Structure 1
Amino acid sequence: ARLKAAAALSPGLRDAPATAAQRFHLDAPGWFAPGDPPPAALAPLARAVWSDRPVTAAYRDRRRTLEPYGLVLKAGVWYLAGRVRSRFLVFRVDRFGEVEPHEGVFERDPGFDLAAFWAEHAAAFARSLLRETVTLRLTEAGVRMLRHVADPAALDDALASLQPDGTMRLGVESVAVAYSQVLRLGPEAEVLGPPELRALLAGAAARMARLYEPREEAPGDRPFGAALRPLGDP
């Protein structure tokens, strides 16, 4: 679709879509967050990105000189992909101080792909959050449900570790996060370790069992549905 649109443009504008795609990438899916005003450094960095000008700027109380390659908006937060010497790094735009553009321009790496670079960075960041590992035994239904419960970054490795008896190792951010995830699997999952998580789930299961224990109706009690009548009944 992009190639067809580019072919319809006048010769002087046909390079514009590719040029823009290598400088600005919108990562649309995100989490709900209040709409904050754009950071002060966004405008000068955007101008530097568009004109291929190196900048010197304060970043986390340190002066840095870098080549700004592209901007990414992720979940309401702006990030800059830039090259420092020969390394491509990611910076949060709201952590920049004063930005000073240079007079000359830098030569862009023709092999740099902003969208691919960001996807790789985002995947590595998501994996870095998985600091704990839990061991589960899942039913077939539990395995099917796992993709709706686990962190996407942990799913492939978890499925690759699946044993014939349903045992698997699942990467999680913390025991507290694992508790909320495994609880959603209900009776389709058994926690084998760590013991702390198994104890938390055992306690939750015991409390839930007490909630659903059969009990005798007190005189005058009626099922909830019996108190409802169709509209129009006298």
Structure 2
Amino acid sequence: MRADRLISLLLLLQNRGHMTAPELAEALEVSVRTIYRDIEALSTSGVPVYADRGPLGGYRLMDGYRTRLTGFTGAEAGSLFLAGMPGPAADLGLGAELTTAQLKLRAALPAELRERTRRIQERFHLDAPAWFRDAGPVPFLAQAAEAVWEQRVLRVHYRRWRGEVNRDLCPLGIVLKGGIWYLVAMRGAEADPETDTGAGVRAVRTYRVSRLLALETTEESFERPAGFDLSAYWADASQRLEAMRYQGVAQLRLSPRALRLLPVQFGVVGQRAVETAGQPDDDGWVRVELPVESQPVAVSDLLRLGAEAEVLGPPELREAMTRAVGVLARRYAVS
């Protein structure tokens, strides 16, 4: 869109100082004639763009114009990366900085671009948390984020599935996934057979921030692993978690209503099961194969389909469903 290109053109001139029309055209992947029109549009909107004539000519901004976009503090500049997520920014302790940074940036823009930012804010909103899920309070999130930035060791009391533990952690990053905050960290310098991968290299682990029961930032600093890439780590960890999540495949016979419910209740795997479903039988029921988690989780999930589904296999899952249904029948039996 043209407004996006005008912003890019303005920032190119501001950051590089002097560029010719062909250089701008190459950078923005447009024609030189388009650059001429865009320069004129910027000038008309109040941006002081000047053309230098001659063989070494080109375009530049009036000296001092850059000062209109200075004055950002480090926290304000960093908060702009969360401009579409005011809730998460506030969780990280950057709510006020984000508001101030947006006001400074908007005041620095020419009228045409300032109006576009206002319209975008009116028409688009990003809500990170998932529906119908309580992510839990995160009172230590801002402190953990500061430790990530300062590379300070954290001393935490953490609630795991198997009980509570004390840990010294070297925090490497913070991730927001589906409305839930996670801390990516290494264990402290002490020997740990669970996280030591050999050759003195400590494995990176993920901790849910809402399960931090206590947190203390120590004076001890640490060195980040050379070449550690938070985005790459998270992508790999997510794939491994997905691979570990599903431990088997259930063979099901479903009514038309259950078939419609499958994507709603089981997400992507449910949708894939629907797409590969067999032909309806005389009663309109179809057979599908659905990836499932551990047997207790599978039983709980499949019971939500009620009488609209029948588990055909594997035999151990069908037997587990039979036992669960028997317990329910006895519990709700009329004397």
User: Aligning the two structures, in what range does the TM-score lie when normalised by the shorter sequence?
Assistant: 0.5 to 0.7
Paired residue for 1:79? 182
SS in 2 for 1:28: coil
Paired residue for 1:46? 145
Paired residue for 2:41? none
Paired residue for 1:154? 269
Q: Does 1:89 align with 2:209?
A: no
Paired residue for 2:298? 174
SS in 1 for 2:264: coil
* C-alpha spacing 1:43/1:146, structure 2 compared with 1 (3 Å): closer
Greater mean alpha carbon deviation, residues 4-13 or residues 66-75? 4-13
SS in 1 for 2:265: coil
Task: Tell me which protein shows more helix as a share of its residues.
Answer: 2
User: How far is the alpha carbon of 1:80 from its aligned partner?
Assistant: 0.6
**Preserved CA contact (<8 Å) 2:253 2:312:** yes
C-alpha separation in 1, matches of 2:242 and 2:132: 14
Count, aligned residues: 193
Which amino acid counterpart does residue 269 of structure 2 have in structure 1? A
C-alpha separation in 1, matches of 2:82 and 2:135: 28
Q: TM-score, normalised by structure 2?
A: 0.41
For structure 2, the residue ranges without an aligned partner over 5 or more in a row are: 15-67, 93-126, 159-164, 188-200, 281-285, 329-335
For structure 1, the residue ranges without an aligned partner over 5 or more in a row are: 205-234
Q: Does 1:197 align with 2:321?
A: yes
* C-alpha spacing 1:138/1:104, structure 2 compared with 1 (3 Å): closer
Partner deviation per Cα, 1:29-74 (whole Å, 9 max, x = no partner): 15343964x33x43432212233x1414245434434242124375
Mapping of residues 94-105 of structure 1, within 5 Å: 94-95=212-213, 97-103=215-221
Give aligned-pair identity as a percent: 18
Tell which has more relative contact order, 1 or 2 (C-alpha 8 A, sep 6+): 1
C-alpha separation in 1, matches of 2:228 and 2:69: 23
Q: Kindly name which structure, 1 or 2, has the bigger radius of gyration based on alpha carbons.
A: 2
User: How far is the alpha carbon of 1:90 from its aligned partner?
Assistant: 0.8
